[in-house]
Structure 1
Amino acid sequence: MKKWLYLFSVTILMLWLAGCTASKNVAYIQGAGEEDVDEYVQSTPLYDARILPKDLLTITISATDPEAVKPFNLTVPGMRTGLTTTSQPQLQPYLVDNSGQINFPELGMITLSGLTKREAELKITDLLGKYLKEPPVVTVSFVNYKISVLGEVARPNTFTISNEKVNILEALAMAGDMTIWGRRDNVKIIREDAQGNQRVILMDLNDRNIIYSPYYYLQQNDVVYVEPNKTKARNSEIGSATGIWLSATSVMISVATLLVNVLRK
């Protein structure tokens, strides 16, 4: 009786320890406390997206004299939405080419790659100075700022970001968060830089210092991949093997039944 009680106690203890380990692997940003608040505010600069090749931009030029800036605001005709109704003309989007440039009216080719929106606005404002009597208001916006999240998440998808700022935790939230089988300690970010080079960046979301990482905020066109853990991989292998075994067994039973029927005749 004592031996069985001992074995039962050891089994319960092992299950409890396994549960604690699993719970520890699931939690994000482990060990962070209130003492980190001041450090975070002082050491983390505000993120600002930078323009990259293949970005689509809209550039609006405004001034007190609309006619003076009209040549710099190119529009495309609206699409017909019915027999008699058409939509309003839309601003012409500018595609940043592989050299990081756009072809802007009157100004010609302008290099914008690597600049923030504010830096691009200031640059265009300076270039327009010789064409306008008063400084214009220049507004640059991203049209195709998007990120993709796939792997062990609830709703893998590609998401368009309206404010051009999203961190990795927000991206996972948009995808419905990781499933219980997703590896928090080995999330991959696939990123292409301005030269077209592909990089794979590993992120440990269990680490309390993740918010200080230079990759905490995502760039446009980033792909976030959540790898399945060993348990999910093993279950997948078992499930595949079981399916093959059941199929083979079914075929064997069918063949055996057919032979029995033939031999009876």
Structure 2
Amino acid sequence: MYLRHIITILAFPILFCACTTQKDLAYFENIKDSQFGTIQTADYQIKIKSQDELMIIVSSEVPSASTQFNTVMANPVTGKDLPDITSASIGSIMTTSSTTPKYLTYTVNKNGDIDFPVLGEIHVEGMTIEELKNYLKSQIENTVRNPLVFVYLVNFKVKVIGEVKEPQTVNVTTEKFSIIDALSACGDMTEYGKRDNVIIMREQPDGTMGYFRLNLHDTSLFTSPYYYLQQNDIVYVEPNQIKQDNSKYNQNNSFKLSTISTIVSAASVIASLVIALTVK
């Protein structure tokens, strides 16, 4: 009887996995029979929000002319001021090396402003990264010839939890980052993930947390305003019914096995005492 319980528990997940249909695991089910076609997509760009952290770097043909628009820390190795920025050095800015420049970031305050060198207070909330670049360039080129302006959204992070192979916080380095990108960064969903009910949670302007459900079986998800993710979004992949039932079954049978084990142990102790008393 005891052995039969163990065999049943070990076989249960295998039986459930076998019941998972191909449709449950497939993406974009509604175009599986199409050889070619086009899919409408959402037109979306990240917009700067209050509390965002921005890194802004200005360069030019004459580095000394653009230095006044950059805020940097002293070199952590030598303690001296960092050298002038050149276009060639921009590629190493985002590295963590102790020998590369350490640029201070700008945090967007509750009013949506940043305090930028020379130009003073600038209202940036609601702008896209490209719009901010263009605005800064238009202001800086009044004093600097052919300025190059680089803007990075430092705090673009997305949390992915639930039924994915590697749940994690993803640090985003591109301006467009989709739900597909997020799942790919986490090794895709497990076979237990509900592909027709992925939940995106997003902070709203009034401070509340909104949510939206995406169906990854259907290509209409590409037109959703939640297809492209925003900073601090949470992606939750819900477990399907198989995983939930399997978990409940394992918990129940784990309890039963524990109870049976305790009873057997107690019976063994009692039997030993009876034998000992009988021998005496």
CA distance in 1, matches of 2:23, 2:154: 40
Distance 1:119 1:195, change over 3 A: farther
CA distances 1:202-258 after superposition (whole Å, capped 9, x unpaired): 111111311122211111221111000111100000000111111111112222222
2:68 maps to: 71
Cross-structure match for 1:138: 149
Structure 1 match to 2:127: 115
Q: Could you tell me whether the CA contact under 8 Å between 1:58 and 1:91 is conserved in 2?
A: yes
Number of paired residues?
240
Distance 1:88 1:209 in 2: 45
Contact 1:29 1:210 in 2 (8 A): no
Residue in structure 2 matched with residue 30 of structure 1 by the alignment: 29
Q: Which amino acid aligns with 1:95?
A: T
Contact 2:52 2:153 in 1 (8 A): yes
Change (3 A) 1:45 1:24: closer
Aligned to 1:100: 112
In structure 2, the residue corresponding to 1:76 is in which secondary structure? Answer: coil
TM-aligned CA distance change 1:27 to 1:88, over 3 Å: closer
Cα-to-partner distance string for 1:137-165 (whole Å, 9 max, x where unaligned)? 32211223221211111111111122222
Tell me which residue corresponds to 2:93.
none
| Structure 1 residue aligned with 2:83 | none
**Contact 2:54–2:106 (8 Å) recurs in 1:** yes
Rounded to whole Å, the distance in 2 between the matches of 1:58 and 1:164 is 14
2-side partners of 1:133 and 1:161: how far apart? 31
Q: Tell me, which stretches of 5 or more residues in structure 2 are unaligned?
A: 1-14, 79-96
User: 1:106 deviation in Å?
Assistant: 2.6
Whichever residue aligns with residue 23 of structure 1, its letter is Q
Q: Counterparts of 1:83-232 in structure 2 under 5 Å?
A: 87-128=99-140, 132=143, 134=145, 136-232=147-243
Alignment equivalent of 2:52, drawn from 52, 55, 64: 55
- Cα distance, 1:174–1:141 mapped onto 2, change above 3 Å: same
In the TM superposition, what is the alpha-carbon distance from 1:108 to its structure 2 partner? Answer: 2.6
Does 1:249 find its partner at 2:246? no
Question: What's 1:11 paired with?
Answer: none
SS of residue matched to 2:29:
coil
Question: Given residue 237 of structure 1, which amino acid in structure 2 is its aligned partner?
Answer: K
C-alpha offsets along residues 4-32 of structure 1, whole Å, 9 cap, x if unaligned?
xxxxxxxxxxx9xx96x822222111222
Q: Which amino acid aligns with 2:67?
A: K
Q: Distance in 2 between matches of 1:242 and 1:99?
A: 56
Query: Contact conserved, 1:113 with 1:194, CA < 8 A, in 2?
Result: no
Q: Which amino acid aligns with 1:228?
A: P
Deviation at 1:178, TM superposition (A): 1.0
**8 Å Cα contact 2:42/2:225 also seen in 1:** no
How large is the Cα RMSD of the aligned pairs?
2.6
Matches of 1:46 and 1:208, distance apart in 2: 15
Structure 1, unpaired ranges of 5+: 1-14
Rate the CA distance shift 1:224–1:86 in 2: closer, same or farther, 3 A: closer
Paired amino acid for 1:123 = Y
TM-score, normalization: structure 1? 0.81
In percent, how many aligned pairs have the same letter? 36
Question: How far did 1:50 drift?
Answer: 1.5
> What amino acid sits opposite 1:57 in the alignment?
L
Structure 2 contact 25–191 (Cα < 8 Å) conserved: yes
